[in-house]
Structure 1
């Protein structure tokens, strides 16, 4: 019997859709399908009893409520004593129904990963947009405990769909101007509760993809004197998304409304649709800090990982004091025209199984 997700994958593969200008998503779809079919796949849902029983869910809910209230007080939208809490028992009952998970890669690192980024919480530099205070909780699904010794890496495009630290046709105007910036890129260690915190923006859209953030989870990496990390292993390569109706409201604000690139909605993005398969939910949970998007946002997401899993994403560049420099031997070099990962086509056996040419 062919699972629904396999049929879904076949349909997407047959369309040969692109993730970025010139890059085929077939490889990423197959990797996601392999993850969904893995016999040892475990999600955050599998850990619900343990996380609730240990008090972690309760503690995180209380912390998140307090954090949102703190942001509202700091922005002048609430007073210190105004916090009204939700019934924790309701939160515990609902927990795990919607959470990201992974054993194998959830998605691709894409052609714009730059290794060697700085360990920092605020990655804005001077970028403008829907300012987002983002909490990423990392959970070990093999032991059902928060991961307290990892580095979470985060990067995304700016409000007009341009990535810093790289130069490529289709990335903005394709010029070298973005090479000298490391805005909207950085790493943070997970705290005792498994949380890594960033200040970033809701990413803008660009041709072929809906708005999304990239993440990589590092284990055993060493913090260097220059505030970067080295070594260790990578257990998870994933992407985070934004609910479509809310995203539509973001796109109406400045500077998102100056972005003239064609919009791809979540429903039409193959990687988003594959990420939603298997009960996973890669969509950020977002709250307004004030009355409008311009007042700022607070977002959270839980990510389940197997710390022993070892993935091998490939950077296109490395960050240096002189900006983004080519990473030796990168399969993304020459993107989107001549790179090793450009225009991937699945092997003949896979095409025969799924019944397309």
Structure 2
């Protein structure tokens, strides 16, 4: 995995740098986005499990751009928070092989990267010396990896998301992205360290990445900002 990652990142670094000049990491407004099928309960600070169909349908996950920004080094770890603040998120990703009836795919590398509360990615821009909110794990016999991370922040022009790549034997099997239910994001983003930026105005439906594939890229999320959140996500590959 190590040499594959380095070679891939060297090839895309120039493209990422060019794309970065066009990205606006501005502060969002406070207008709430439209809700999805996952609903808050009780006092409005607790959420129930979502209905993301990534955990139901046996299909290959949509392929998406690497986006901003794949890691420049191999960070083999499960806890990717470092010193970042935010709502704790225990994220479990399951990789399945669609070519084998969606059997779990073990011993493949799963890498994730995401922005922090302020909308920044480590290793780029003003954060070149930092490595927060990035990590790689290898799937177990159940095709699963688990990361300890934070509920993602957001930046202008994109819905709230986490990047995911699955690779095996120096070969990328899938690059995709994980969406989050907007009503849950609204709850999280109006509390604690997220509150100063407010709610993400870009909905999943208006996002250029998710607009045509929301149902197949939605995470299933539960928990609350007070006690921490959990999320599950399934990636289907044809291996």
Shorter-chain TM band: 0.7 to 0.9
**Contact 2:69–2:121 (8 Å) recurs in 1:** yes
**Contact 1:286–1:299 (8 Å) recurs in 2:** yes
Structure with bigger gyration radius = 1
* Higher relative contact order (Cα pairs below 8 Å, separated by 6+ residues): 2
- Specify the SS of the correspondent of 1:148: coil
User: Which of residues 61, 67, 73 is equivalent to 1:110?
Assistant: 67
User: Which of residues 224, 235, 239 is equivalent to 1:303?
Assistant: 235
Query: Scaled by the length of structure 2, what TM-score is found?
Result: 0.73
User: Which of residues 271, 285, 293 is equivalent to 2:225?
Assistant: 293
Q: Separation in 2 of the partners of 1:216 and 1:240? A: 11
In structure 2, the partner of 1:207 is 156
Specify which structure has the higher proportion of strand.
2
Q: Separation in 1 of the partners of 2:186 and 2:219? A: 15
**Contact 1:154–1:216 (8 Å) recurs in 2:** yes
Flag the 1:262–1:284 CA change in 2: closer, same or farther, 3 A.
closer
Unaligned runs of 5+ in 2: 1-18, 24-52
In structure 1, the partner of 2:178 is 240
Q: Separation in 2 of the partners of 1:137 and 1:262? A: 27
Flag the 1:243–1:21 CA change in 2: closer, same or farther, 3 A.
farther
CA RMSD of aligned residues (A): 2.3
How many pairs are equivalent? 191
- Offset of residue 113 of structure 1: 1.2
- Offset of residue 184 of structure 1: 0.3
In structure 2, the partner of 1:149 is 107
Flag the 1:20–1:180 CA change in 2: closer, same or farther, 3 A.
closer
**Contact 1:100–1:282 (8 Å) recurs in 2:** no
CA offsets 1:301-326 (integer angstroms, 9 cap, x no match)? 1111013xxxxxxxxxxxxxxxxxxx
Q: Are 2:217 and 1:282 equivalent residues in the alignment?
A: yes
Specify which structure has the higher proportion of helix.
1
Q: Separation in 2 of the partners of 1:195 and 1:202? A: 19
Query: Scaled by the length of structure 1, what TM-score is found?
Result: 0.50
- Offset of residue 20 of structure 1: 7.3
- Offset of residue 194 of structure 1: 0.3
In structure 1, the partner of 2:145 is 196
Q: Separation in 2 of the partners of 1:99 and 1:116? A: 32
- Offset of residue 197 of structure 1: 0.7
**Contact 2:72–2:123 (8 Å) recurs in 1:** no
In structure 2, the partner of 1:124 is 81
User: Which of residues 109, 115, 119 is equivalent to 1:161?
Assistant: 119
Flag the 1:123–1:95 CA change in 2: closer, same or farther, 3 A.
closer
In structure 1, the partner of 2:208 is 270
In structure 1, the partner of 2:197 is 259
